[in-house]
A and B are shown apart, each in its own frame.
Chain A
C-alpha cells in the first residue's frame, strides 16, 4: 500500500467549516465561500480515521489510521498519522510539519525498513492513499485559486443549501487539481459543504462527494462521514472520522521524528 502525503489540512479543509453564519444569506458566491473557510477554534485534535476503498466489483480494502494534529500558528499546522491496519503496514507513521514560507517537511517511518525517510510532496492532484480523494480534496482550498458564482439555492435531503460553482482562476489551477469545475452544496444553517460535484478537464462529470454525517464536537462542525464516488469508473471511497477529541493539549514535541517510531 502506498503512503500518500498532504494530510496536513484535512481537518480544516473538507470537514471543518466553522460556525454557522446566517448573515451570509444575501452574499455572493465568493463571500459565502469565505465564510465557509472561516477559521476554526480548535488548537489540537486527535481522531480515528477509517478509509474504505471499494471498486466497481464491490471488492473492499480498509485502512485504519490514528491521527493527531495541532495548529502551530494561525496558518501552520503539524500532523502525525499512524496506521493501525491493514497489518502489513501497521505502525507505519507519517509526519507533516507545515511551513508558510518554504516547503512542508514530510517524514515517513516505515517499520519494515526501520527507517525514517524524508519525502517530497506528491502534488495536489494525486490520489490520497489510492482513494478517490485527492490531496486537493482533503486539503484546505485557497480562496483566490478559484472564481465563484452563486447558482440557484437548492434543497438537499430537506436542508436548504447554497449552490456555488467554482471555476479555476488560472489554467495552472485546473492542471494541478485536475478539475475544470466544482459545484458545491453548502448547508445554509451550518455553512458546511454536504455535497460536491467535480468535473474533469474535459468538463465531464467526474466525482461526487456526499457528506453523510456532520457532527458538532466541542463547538466545531466536522464532516465525519464522507463518500467520494468516481462516476466514470464506479470506484468509491469512504472516509470516516470517529472519536474526535479537540484541545487535549498535545505537547508540541509530539509532532517530531522522535515520536514517529514509538510503539505507543
Chain B
C-alpha cells in the first residue's frame, strides 16, 4: 500500500494523455475535417447551510475537438478551462483550488475494426440499466462533493483501454484501468475517541503498479426482446475502509487513536436487464460485492454485500415521464451487535453501525412544462431513517444552444443517517450555458 500523499499517476499515462490531447491539433488527414465545439458557462453554487455561505462561483470554457480519421478511427478530446472565483471553504476536504485550472475531461482515440472497437485514453465508462443507482457501474469514481447538473462534474474520468467485441447478437466488453482512483467523499474524522485524541494518517491507496490494475468484463445480448448483461469487475473498492488502531507510547500505553482510510480489493459480479412494453420500461440490476473481509470477521473491513434494484419507467405523454425504483443492500455474514461491541472496546461509545439491510426508493420525474422549459426531479429516500436526497433541476432554453438552469442538491434526514450526515453539503446552483 502507498499513501495518498505519494501516489502519483505514472508518467506513461500522463504522456499518453498529453499525446491524445495534442494529436488532433496536428493531424492532417486530408479529407476529414476536425470539428470544434464545446460550451461556455457561468456558474454560481451557494451552500444552503451556514457557516458555509457559498462554495462555487466561476466560469468554464470547454473545448471539444472531434476528428474522424477515415472510416477506421476517430479522436475525441474535451478540455476544461475552469475558473473559480471562490474556493470551497470550511468543508472536510477543500479540494477545489481558487483560480484557473486547465484539465482534460476526456481524451481518447477510437479504433474501429470489423468485429470489435477499441477506445484508448481518458474516458467515462458507465454500465448498468437502472437509473441513478447502478450496482454494476464501478469503473468511474464519483465526486460526492460536487453533485450538480453535469455528469462530468460528479463523475471522474479514468485512463483506460476498452474493447468491445461483437459476435452476432452478443457483445463482449473489456476494460483495463491501470491506475486506481477513489471516490471523492467528504469524510469527517472525530477529534477524539473516548479519552484519546484522533490522529488522521494519510489514506492508503493501492500501490501504483501493473499488478494492481483494475479490469472488468461485460457480456451483453438480447433474448425475447429483453436486453441483458452480466459483468465482472476486479479492482479496489472506491469507498474506503476505516482502520483504527491505538498509538502506544514507550510503556505500551495508548496515547492516541490513529485513523486511516484504506482502499481494499474487491470483486463485483453483476447483471442487469431492461425490456419495454408499450409505455413501460421494466428494468433491474444487481451485483454481489466480494470484499476483502469475506467471512465478516474484521470489524475494520466492509462485509461482502449484495445490492439489487428493480424499477420501471412510465411515459404518460411526451411531456411527462416517471421512473420509480426500489433497491436493497444486504450485508452478508454481518453481525451489527458484534461490530458495535468491538468499536466500543476501541473507545468509540456511539459508533455508526450500518444496518444489515438497507432499502431505498428512488425516482426521476421529467416534465416538459412549456415548449422550452422542463423540470427534472431526482430523489432517493432510504427506508430506515426516511433520509432523503433530492435534486430538482429546472431547465429553460433561451435560444438554440443557450440554456439557463438551476436546482438544489438537498440532503435531509437524521444526523446519523446516510443522507442526513451530508446535510451540510446541500446547496443551490444556477448556471447559464452557451453551447457552440
Contacts and interface: CB of A to CB of B under 8 A. Distances in A.
Contacts, number: 100
B225 interface: yes
B62 to A, nearest CB: 11
B151 A114 contact: yes
Given A114-B126, A126-B317, A87 B150 contact: no
Interface of B: 37, 39, 66, 68, 71, 74, 76, 110, 112, 117, 124, 126, 129, 150-151, 164, 166, 171, 225, 227, 274, 276-281, 313-315, 317-319, 368, 371-372, 374, 397, 399-401, 403, 433, 435-436
14 contacts: A53-B371, A62-B400, A86-B400, A88-B403, A88-B435, A99-B225, A113-B126, A118-B227, A118-B274, A120-B314, A121-B276, A126-B317, A258-B164, A264-B68
Interface string A92-119: 0000000100110110000011110011
A90 B110 CA distance: 18
A13 B417 CA distance: 56
Interface in A243-264: 253, 258, 262-264
Nearest to A111: B64
Contact of A118 (B276, B319, B400): B276
A27 interface: no
Contact of A105 (B150, B225, B278): B225
A152 B401 CA distance: 48
A234 interface: no
Contact of B276 (A85, A106, A127, A263): A106
A101 to B, nearest CB: 10
A113 B151 contact: yes
B140 to A, nearest CB: 9
Given A103-B277, A263-B76, A121 B225 contact: no
Contacts of B277: 103, 120
Interface of A: 1-2, 4, 53, 55, 61-62, 85-88, 90, 99, 102-103, 105-106, 112-115, 118-123, 126-127, 130, 253, 258, 262-264
Contacts of B151: 112-114
B401 A122 contact: no
Given A86-B400, A263-B76, A263-B110, A119 B313 contact: yes
Given A86-B400, A86-B401, A87-B436, A119 B276 contact: yes
Given A105-B276, A263-B74, 4 more contacts: A61-B400, A88-B39, A253-B166, A258-B164
Contacts of A258: 117, 164, 166, 171
Contacts of B278: 103, 120-121
A118 to B, nearest CB: 5
B400 A120 contact: no
A120 B110 contact: no
Contact of A103 (B276, B313, B400): B276
B400 to A, nearest CB: 4
Contacts of B276: 103, 105-106, 118-121
A253 B117 CA distance: 13
Contacts of A86: 400-401, 435
A262 B110 contact: yes
B280 A120 contact: yes
Contacts of B313: 119-120
A140 B306 CA distance: 47
B368 A2 contact: yes
B315 A87 contact: no
A121 B436 CA distance: 31
Nearest to A102: B225
B296 to A, nearest CB: 34
Contacts of A4: 318
Q: Nearest 5 CB-CB pairs, A to B?
A: A126-B318, A88-B435, A87-B435, A86-B400, A263-B74
Given A88-B403, A121-B278, A262-B74, A103 B225 contact: yes
A227 B278 CA distance: 30
Nearest to B64: A90
